Chain A
Amino acid sequence: MNDLYSNAIGHWVIVILAMGILLVVVLTATAYTVWFERVALGRIQRRPGPNRVGPFGLMQSAADGIKLAFKESFIPDKTDKLLFVIAPGIAVVAAFLAWVVIPIGLWYNVQYWIADVNVGILIIFAVSALNVYAIVIGGYASNNKYSLLGGLRSAAQLISYEMSLGLSLVPTFMIVGSLRLRDIVEYTVHWGLYTGPLPLVILTPVGFIIYLISAVAETNRAPFDLPEAEQELIGGFLTEYSGLKFVMYYLAEYVNMITVSALAALLFFGGWYLWVVPPVFAFLLKVVLFLFLYIWVRGTFPRLRYDMLMRLGWKVLLPLSIANVIVTGIVLVAVQG
């Protein structure tokens, strides 16, 4: 394996193979996240959720996918045809690209990731910021006032929350001293008798809470799902989309949801380290718990009004995250001298 990996061609074969496997894994995970969400939301509302297709309704996502794939690929008249088709593609590409640098685990010296980049977290932010283009372009190209309003809302929302999202992680980087996700996960402390990995949430709890809230807003999930608000914007930027293009937006939303859950696990909860649980499974467990948190929040809170969203972003989260950075800096200087 190592010989093959050091060989120039073999290296690429392995990388492309790994990317193929990752694609399949993430797609499957997305399908079951949808199933999980529908079941969990159902239970919260005291319904069983999907339970007809296959055992426990596990094949529901496959059935939905097939149904949507065979729908007519409809492009409304007077839309910007090129942009209308490109926009969902941007959403999917942006969502999947982030997984290039997300490390899933390190198990018996096998690395479960594609690239270990020293600016990993920056790449994830850069790529996931492209998501706003997908929504704005989709809203603009639809030539529909509701879609355009959804796109505009999305632009304002993502810009507002991207800053507090980024700033909420700065204390983490300051403590660890690296942007490489593997370094952050493997952060160890030497506190007297205890030497070992430490979940960073203990050191930056405020950063974690800001990250959690901003990440929900960043992925356009309830209660921050203003861009697609069904009740007032009849679906927002999604209004004119159907069939496979709709699937692409939908897929991107769920992949983004898994991505931010994975990031929360990696940045604040020690990634693949969890007591005696095998690394990859520990990571999976943490991601599933965060996904449940997202679904739970969706099942609990009503959508924010637009001014509330802006007030929370600009007047609460942003000052709080800046203060968090400053306080962490002061404490770090005081501790490390």
Chain B
Amino acid sequence: MADETNDGQKDGQNKDRGEKPAGPNMAGDVGALLTGLKTTLSEAFKPVVTTMYPEDKTPRSERYRGRHYLRRYDNGLERCIGCELCAAACPVGCILVIAAENTDENRVSPGERYAKTYEINMLRCIFCGYCEDACPVQAIVLGPEYELSDTSREKFIYTKEKLLEPLPPDVQARLDTKDQPHRPASPGTSP
């Protein structure tokens, strides 16, 4: 290859000086062309590297930050205690939490309060995962789904019902291994 390149340069210099190019240079140039043709043809018979996207997907990290989920305890109570730390931590302000008091007749979460409204604006969310970090009771986690396109702006406001959908099993398994709160429980949890 190197020889051919040099021949090509010599050829050009000869032409600049007005001399006739020598025979071997011509052969070298043609050889370079044939090398190129051989390369492309051999590439054509190698397997394609494309991932057939909707059918095949590239593997994601175990800690991939996709859409959010609100979690429940095993007894069915919601984890969220309406403390709004996630909303405070959110750099783009896409989380809206309106808390309400738990009563004995209507107990939604084990704590003093629960989230009456919990909405995330997915158009604003930057999937930084700060809400997951901020949450004292591990109520909100970011799941693996990234195909979130939809047909209207309203559908991107994920409401509490949508966020409370059961987690994908692999995420559940990951969380089960480290389910202990990494911070001391906030005072609100102990009535």
Q: Which residues of B (3-61) have their CB < 8 Å from a CB of A?
A: 33, 36-37, 39-41, 43-50, 52
Tell me which residues across on chain A come within 8 A of B37, comparing CB atoms: 296-297, 300
Assess A300 versus B44: contact at CB under 8 Å? Given A47-B50, A48-B50. Answer: no
Contact (Cβ within 8 A) B49 A46: yes
Assess A300 versus B36: contact at CB under 8 Å? Given A44-B43, A46-B43. Answer: yes
Q: Is A43 an interface residue (CB 8 A)?
A: yes
Of A40, A43, A48, A301, which one neighbours B36 at CB under 8 angstroms?
A301
Q: Is A299 an interface residue (CB 8 A)?
A: yes
Tell me how many residue pairs across A and B have CB atoms closer than 8 Å: 34
Of A44, A297, A301, which one neighbours B44 at CB under 8 angstroms?
A44
With both chains docked as a complex, state the minimum distance between the C-beta of B190 and any C-beta of chain A, in angstroms.
58
Query: How many of chain B's residues have a CB under 8 angstroms from any CB in A?
Result: 15
Closest to B37 in A: A300
With both chains docked as a complex, state the minimum distance between the C-beta of A308 and any C-beta of chain B, in angstroms.
10
Assess A43 versus B33: contact at CB under 8 Å? Given A296-B40, A296-B41, A300-B40. Answer: no
Contact (Cβ within 8 A) A48 B33: no
Tell me the interface secondary structure of chain A in the complex: helix
Tell me which residues across on chain B come within 8 A of A296, comparing CB atoms: 37, 40-41
Tell me which residues across on chain B come within 8 A of A40, comparing CB atoms: 44
Q: How far is the CA of A45 from the CA of B36 in the complex (A)?
A: 13
- Among B44, B46, B50, B52: residue with most chain A CB under 10 A: B44
Tell me which residues across on chain A come within 8 A of B41, comparing CB atoms: 44, 296
Assess A301 versus B49: contact at CB under 8 Å? Given A43-B44, A296-B40. Answer: no
Tell me which residues across on chain B come within 8 A of A44, comparing CB atoms: 40-41, 43-44
Q: How far is the CA of A40 from the CA of B43 in the complex (A)?
A: 11
Q: How far is the CA of A46 from the CA of B39 in the complex (A)?
A: 12
With both chains docked as a complex, state the minimum distance between the C-beta of B95 and any C-beta of chain A, in angstroms.
38
The proximity string for A residues 278-309 relative to B, scoring 1 for CB distances below 8 Å and 0 otherwise, is 00000000000000000011011100000000
Contact (Cβ within 8 A) B44 A48: no
Contact (Cβ within 8 A) B33 A301: yes
Q: How far is the CA of A42 from the CA of B41 in the complex (A)?
A: 12
Tell me which residues across on chain A come within 8 A of B44, comparing CB atoms: 40, 43-44
Contact (Cβ within 8 A) B43 A48: no
Tell me which residues across on chain A come within 8 A of B47, comparing CB atoms: 46
Q: Which residues of B (110-164) have their CB < 8 Å from a CB of A?
A: none
Closest to B54 in A: A52
Of A43, A297, A301, which one neighbours B48 at CB under 8 angstroms?
A43
- Among B36, B37, B40: residue with most chain A CB under 10 A: B40
Tell me which residues across on chain B come within 8 A of A46, comparing CB atoms: 43, 46-50
A43-B48, A44-B43 given; 10 more Cβ-contact pairs under 8 Å: A40-B44, A43-B43, A44-B41, A45-B43, A46-B50, A47-B50, A48-B48, A296-B40, A300-B37, A300-B39
Q: List 28 A-B contacts (CB under 8 A).
A: A40-B44, A42-B48, A43-B43, A43-B44, A44-B41, A44-B43, A44-B44, A45-B43, A46-B43, A46-B48, A46-B49, A46-B50, A47-B48, A47-B49, A47-B50, A48-B48, A48-B50, A48-B52, A296-B37, A296-B40, A296-B41, A297-B37, A299-B40, A300-B36, A300-B39, A300-B40, A301-B33, A301-B36
By Cβ-Cβ distance, the 7 closest A-B pairs, closest first, are A43-B44, A300-B40, A44-B40, A44-B44, A300-B36, A48-B48, A46-B49
